[in-house]
Amino acid sequence: MKNSEFRSEDIRITQLENGLTVILQEMEYSPVAAVTVAYRIGPLWETQITRGLSHFCEHMMFKDSRKYGPGKFWQIVQRNGGLANAYTSRDITVYFSVVPIAGLDDILSLESDRMFNCLMDANEVASEKKVILEEELLTSRESPEGALDISLYSTAFNKHPYRNSITGNASDIQSFTQKKLKKFYRNFYNPSNAVIAVVGRIDPDSVFSRIKDLFGSESMVDTVRPVITSEPPQTGTRRVDRKHPSQLPRISIGFRVPAADQQASSALSLISIYLASGRSSRFEELLVKPGLVLDVAASTNTLIQPGLYTIHAVLPPEGSPDEVEKLIFSELERVSAEGISSSEVQRLKKRRTAWSTISDADPLSRSRRLSTGQARFDDPLYFWHSIINTGKVTTDEIKAAVSRYLIKDNATIAGLKPMGSISGYSAPKVPDASVKPDLIPPSSLKPSDIDIPDSLIRAPSISVGDNAREIILENNLRIILKKDSSFPVLSLGFSCPMGADREPDKLTGLSEVTAEAMLYGTPNEDSIKFNSRLENLGSSIDLSSSNKYAGGIVTVLEKDAEQALSVVADLFRKPAFREEDINSIIRDTIASLNEWTSTPIGAAMESFSKQSTDPPEKSPVPSKESLSAIPGMI
């Protein structure tokens, strides 16, 4: 294989006698391997008695097993220079790791031992219950996004288990016992209920042989699944409003839509891109630019069974949820009546295809897509089949999907009304459509706590800097080039000396506001048009500031390299710095800052930053006063 473009014939799929599905792919990439193990376990498969146990099991899987005692999992991952995490969604639980090839056998051994021999020690169970209770408190009740999500799903579904939160509620968690947990674990954590995918610079034959040795000796177990209660059809708009101790109004609209493997999902995914993907989307123009919302997102259902297509918006303090709701439905009604032009649909398809290639350009993304596709839909190539299906969507199918599903009678509207102070942390952003890792790995371990074999102490045979070329232009622009043919993409990183440490006195936040303003276009292009240049290629551009530098990265298909370079050049050479854009950025930043500093963690970090900085006025945390002084300085 000349590069790592996706080819189904390069995928090796085998099922062991005990039911474990093994998916392997050799990928010409850095000498690393990604391992993903997906289990068919989540709220979809829980009952009133076991609600929340999928998520609790996920946490306990990082504790001790028969071969690897307490703390050994993270010791082994970190001694190999790897990373690992997990997440529980509404229908599957996924564990993933990336390590250098030398550490692959360690990871396979870890995964095998915790699949079959997780001890679920009583003391560990009691300790972890406290952790989960705190997580439930912060994410499900005190977090604005978590609270709104709970309200949305519990109102949209009356009977189906998708109505339940992933963590379970406080009384569920309090009821967890070692006996209940072990019974649940034995039922769902078995080979026939799991998929393992390994992708990287591997020898598939030897890796398969090792997996067979480690996982194949256990017998098949028939997983007992509860009968899933079907949800009655929705016959009218449902509404739920809740007050919340936070600063910013929020609105979430959920529409009942088919399962992710149905054809309607392809049309709905294109509608999501059209409505709210990036800085050039329709809602960016309709809602964000006029200042009606701070952020907005749209995403379709990715689950095994019929779920929700969601639109989430975060409003400024004085924002009107009624006005935002009216504009959202007005746009959906317009698309239902008029559709989207054929030329625009073609651009949306191009964006989806390009983004899919770009986001697939590493072993971890590939292994996760292979394993979750198999776990959810018995189709390891589900992700790539969905791209093909999206390419077949017609303008009429888009109109039909909006007309049938994205209508008021099929909508659940959840509103969050802020009450002022907040007692738990949540950044003022809409929920990410993707599933985020659940655990926080140890930041570091003492070297004396890690048993490092001699094989890992040898100097590496290759370095990321090998064959890199440096060029300095006459204007002192420094260029570093490295050729890598692993994927048909180009990644362009860039930075400049513009950070918080370089800001003038009493202008804290200037570097971040400047970086954001640079993304608002050139004198000849507004923000929508400027950002569409990359977003129409399936990519995007971002620029953020740190202590000393501001920088970002753009990844595009190799054939689009010249256009990416052109956009980055204009970003640095031709920023418009329009007064109205700067004022809008500062207004939104102050609103977000006020919510952040009203949380205990935000207030603590602000106080710590000032007390640990000499003088305190040089603290990198901006204030309303320092931000308000910025106009006229850019």
Q: What is the pLDDT of residues 134-191, one digit of tens each?
A: 888 877 667 899 999 999 999 999 999 999 999 999 999 999 999 999 999 999 999 9
CA–CA separation, 629 vs 586, rounded Å? Answer: 10
Assess whether pLDDT exceeds 50 at residue 422. no
* C-alpha span between 217 and 198 (Å, rounded): 19
Residue 3 has pLDDT above 70, yes or no: no
Q: How high is the pLDDT of residue 158?
A: 97
- Mean pLDDT, range 236-254, rounded to an integer: 96
Q: pLDDT: is 60 or 419 the higher one?
A: 60
Cα dihedral sign for 199, 204, 207, 212? Answer: positive
Mean pLDDT for 351-362 is: 93
Half-sphere exposure of 74 (CA within 13 A, CB side): 16
Q: How far is CA 470 from CA 194, 479, 494, 513, 551, in A?
A: 47, 6, 14, 31, 18
What does pLDDT average to over the chain? 92
Which among 380, 379, 20, 19 is positioned nearest to 195, based on CA atoms? 20
Pick from 502, 494, 536: which is nearest to 518 by CA? 494
Chain center to CA of 92: 15
Cβ atoms of residues 283 and 276 within 8 Å: yes
Confidence of residue 428 (pLDDT cuts 50, 70, 90): very low
Q: How far is CA 19 from the centre of its chain?
A: 30
What is the SS3 assignment for 318? coil
Note if the pTM is more than 0.85: yes
CB 212 within 8 A of CB 38: no
What does the alpha-carbon distance between residue 440 and residue 86 come to, in Å, rounded to a whole number?
10
The arrangement of strands across the sheet holding 295-299 comes to 238-244, 411-418, 250-257, 307-314, 295-299
Quick one: pLDDT band at residue 447, thresholds 50, 70, 90? Answer: low
Lowest pLDDT segment from 19-28, 317-326, 596-605: 596-605
Share of the chain above pLDDT 70, in %: 93
Task: Check residue 603 and give its pLDDT.
Answer: 83
Q: Per-residue pLDDT averaged across 579-592, rounded?
A: 95
Find all residues with CB under 8 Å of 371, minimum gap 6, and list them: 23, 36, 37, 38, 94, 195, 196, 197, 380
Selection from 188, 189, 196, 193 nearest residue 212 by Cα: 196
Q: What is the pLDDT of residue 431?
A: 45
- The residues, ordered by sequence, that sit 6+ positions from 179 with a Cβ below 8 Å of its Cβ are none
- What local confidence, expressed as pLDDT, does residue 389 receive? 96
* HSE-CB of 564 using CA atoms within 13 angstroms: 22
* Half-sphere exposure (Cβ direction) of 157: Cα atoms closer than 13 Å: 22
pLDDT for 456 equals 67
The answer on pLDDT for 249 being more than 70 is: yes
The per-residue pLDDT for 609 is: 84
Whether residue 424 has pLDDT greater than 50: no
